[in-house]
């Protein structure tokens, strides 16, 4: 999921996400559950209290189940997703919910045939630059691409592009490093 905080999914989070994915797919509710998961993740990342509830062992499992049911209801999330949150909390896995969101999002993108790419630049890209990169990538991979952008001033200039595990580094910082290495070897 694109967001300001990157969360990674551990094995437990991946198993829960996979179970929810299969259940939602069987019920024909995959798109809605994806939307609910995305909305919940954004809500959690924007709320210190909710993040504390998810991660703190100071709250009992029962308190977490009740609180998450209330949040789910107030946010208008589907009953299926609300039960999923409750199950994770009841099983002592509330701290893995955001990781499960990442894993679910990956499964959903894969099912739709969407490729994910991350582009890092030294300064914020304009809408036209972003659109041009998306267009080039879509042609290169032969399908839909979801592009996430990050700003990293240490790149000085240029671009870093990651698609899956492949990294293309055309940043000025990398070019300077390669020149420095070549000069030391000469």
Q: How many domains are there within the chain?
A: 2
* pLDDT value of residue 6: 44
Q: Domain boundary at 87, 110, 133, which? A: 110
Q: Which domain holds residue 49?
A: 11-110
Residue 5 lies in a domain: no
User: Highest mean pLDDT: which of 70-74, 135-139, 165-169?
Assistant: 70-74
Interatomic CA distance for residues 89 and 117, integer angstroms: 32
Are residue 66 and residue 102 in the same domain, yes or no?
yes
Predicted pLDDT at 47: 96
Residue 3 within any structural domain of the chain: no
Most confident of 80-84, 107-111, 171-175: 80-84
Same domain, 177 and 138: yes
**Average pLDDT, integer, range 104-110:** 93
CA–CA gap between residue 184 and residue 182 (Å, rounded): 5
Mean pLDDT to the nearest integer, 124-150: 90
Query: Which phi and psi (to 5°) does residue 135 adopt?
Result: -65, -45
Q: Does one domain contain both 64 and 118? A: no
Residues 151 and 72 reside in one and the same domain: no
Shared domain check, 123 and 106: no
Instruction: Express each pLDDT in 5-48 by its tens digit.
Output: 446 789 999 999 999 999 999 999 999 999 999 999 999 999 99
Give residue-wise pLDDT tens across range 4-17. 344 678 999 999 99
Q: 124 and 104, same structural domain? A: no
Bridge-based pairing state of the strands 115-121 and 145-151 = parallel
22 shares its domain with 102: yes
């Amino acid at each position: 999921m694109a967001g300001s905080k990157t969360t990674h999914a551990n094995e437990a989070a991946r198993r829960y996400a996979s179970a929810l994915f299969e259940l939602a797919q069987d019920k024909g509710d995959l798109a809605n559950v994806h939307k609910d998961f995305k909305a919940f993740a954004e809500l959690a990342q924007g709320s210190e209290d909710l993040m504390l509830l998810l991660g703190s062992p100071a709250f009992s499992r029962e308190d977490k189940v009740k609180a998450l049911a209330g949040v789910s209801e107030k946010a208008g999330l589907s009953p299926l997703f609300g039960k999923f949150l409750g199950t994770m909390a009841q099983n002592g896995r509330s701290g893995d919910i955001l990781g499960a969101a990442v894993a679910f999002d990956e499964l959903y993108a894969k099912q739709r045939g969407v490729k994910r790419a991350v582009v890092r630049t030294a300064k914020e890209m304009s809408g036209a630059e972003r659109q041009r990169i998306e267009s080039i990538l879509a042609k290169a991979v032969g399908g839909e691409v979801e592009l996430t952008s990050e700003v990293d001033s240490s790149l000085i200039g240029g671009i870093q592009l990651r698609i899956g595990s492949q990294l293309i580094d055309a940043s000025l910082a990398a070019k300077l490093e390669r020149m420095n290495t070549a000069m030391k070897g000469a």
